[in-house]
Chain A
Amino acid sequence: MKDQVAIAGAATTGFTTKNSGRTQTSFAAQAAIDVIRRCGLTKDDVDGLCGSWPAAHVLQSALGLSRVTWFGNPVIPLVDHVATAAAAVHAGLCETVLVYHAPYRAAWNTSGSLKDPFRRIATPGLSEPQPGPDTVAAGVGYTAWASRYVYEFDVKREDFGIVALNARANAARNPAAAMREPLSMDDYLAARMIREPLCLYDMDPAVDGGDAFIVTTTERARNLPLPPVLINAAVLGQVSPNEEDQTTSLRANGQQVVIDTLKAKGDFWLDEVDVYFPYDGFTPITLNWIENAGWCAPGEGGAFMRQHWDPAEGRVLINGRIPVNPHGGSLSEGATQGSGHIREAVHQLQGLAGERQVEDAQRALITAGGFFFNAQGLMLHTS
């Protein structure tokens, strides 16, 4: 499949941490129409659909896409959707897939979202009894491993904080980002703890919005208006055991599978990367991706980011040139479950990233997801 399938374009609605008064279908439809038009296509050209929220049949009816021959509803984060759509295209199940994602402030996430009665209805199981606090399942798992990270490497909170500061500085350059006001280390250290050792700024904020992509054959993409972004390698990495509290260690989880596979299957590696996207749903995930990818040694992710901090730019530029999550990441653009990272990579490689544009960007590395069930990798390039 290498380089045989491409992302022909990407679009976003932008994101907000407010209750938008809109549905996920509304956001997905807006981003979808935008990307279909940018790619010079019409609704009749789309014969595949791939997304999680809303379900494919719902979006198909909303957009009036007359016929599709394939659709899928994979689970987040979004490398799964891009990889699955690419495989469907490569296998000939369809030719042109609309990949979409509408992050949403579900009533699980925030007390503020509960104020929207439609959101309460739209959040399944909200009124059911829930397990108590005696677990590190779900989001707490990253905090648990953050405690282990601090224990093993004797790092300070500032190591997590610099991830948040870099994200916020980048978001200031991104009009689509939800959180753009400046964030200082003092702000970070003064923020309230949520799940110690992690505070408010260590977690991505739930947002409303949408991203959409067109995935098709490279051959077809070359005949469309925007420069094709070729899918060089993709992987969903997972190991056993993978439960949050049974996962073997920070150096033996899905991230190692992702890195090993990308290095084996891809055509470039760190020395040739122009822009890097480590997932940042929680700050310790980012540090571990940086370390496991081999940018630096285990436990040195925070020090690495300090070493490559560009004071003039007020953000990390690895070797003075490679930005890290230039869109602001999930921490500051908003919790997009990876769709924002992929969309920004596409825009960077197409030269459409505005004031964030990395000059002559040709190769992007995306390491999405966390440790347990969702470590993913994607390598994109222009030729």
Chain B
Amino acid sequence: MTISDEALVERFPGQPITHDNAEHYRGRLDHRLLLGKCRSCGHWHSPPKPVCPQCWSFDVESAPVSGTGTIYMAVFLHQGPPAPGVDYSVPYPVVTVELDEQPGLRFTATVVGADNDAIRIGGRVRLSWIERAGMPVPVFELNEAAQ
């Protein structure tokens, strides 16, 4: 059953949910990472947009990505916004990952289950999920087997 817009906003307090990205957030509830994809030309885009930036078709959907990719940028927050369960005493990793679906298509999230020293640009990752205050959050895990 599709969750209502009102309920969706309640599940993701503080998140900038719009008519263009609501499906992306609905996907999070099912642990599916949905990004923008054009039904006409097949081009991916992120964050979700109302129109395909490549061909100007409005026939765009939120489609699941495999969640595998390569770390493109990596930041370690020694301080940051308050978030449940986030302790900056160990710097909090935030990585931008270039996804395997398309060159330049990227998604940003934290990394779990790895020492910060092991989180390096160029490293391979795969998608996983955690719960934070009842909110599903997409995260990456290092994908050593795929190095």
Contacts and interface: CB of A to CB of B under 8 A. Distances in A.
Interface of A: 128-136, 140, 143-145, 147-148, 151, 192-197, 240-241, 243, 245-246, 248
A154 to B, nearest CB: 11
Contacts of A135: 94, 108
Interface in B2-29: 13-16
Q: Which 8 A-B pairs have the closest CB atoms?
A: A129-B14, A196-B76, A132-B83, A144-B73, A133-B80, A151-B121, A129-B13, A245-B96
Contact of B108 (A134, A148, A240): A134
Contact of B122 (A140, A145, A151, A192): A151
Interface size for chain B: under 10, 10 to 19, 20 to 34, or 35 or more residues? Answer: 35 or more
A141 B79 CA distance: 15
A373 to B, nearest CB: 14
B74 interface: yes
Given A131-B16, A195-B78, A243 B109 contact: no
A243 B47 CA distance: 8
Interface in B90-113: 91-92, 94, 96, 104-110
Contacts of B92: 133
Interface of B: 13-16, 45-47, 53, 72-81, 83, 86, 91-92, 94, 96, 104-110, 121-122, 132, 137, 139
Given A133-B77, A148-B72, A246-B106, 17 more contacts: A130-B14, A130-B81, A131-B81, A132-B137, A134-B109, A136-B94, A144-B96, A193-B76, A196-B75, A196-B76, A196-B77, A196-B91, A240-B53, A243-B47, A245-B96, A245-B106, A246-B104
27 contacts: A128-B14, A129-B13, A132-B14, A132-B81, A132-B132, A132-B137, A133-B83, A136-B96, A140-B75, A144-B96, A147-B73, A148-B73, A151-B121, A151-B122, A194-B78, A194-B79, A195-B75, A195-B76, A195-B79, A196-B76, A196-B91, A240-B53, A245-B73, A245-B96, A245-B106, A246-B47, A246-B106
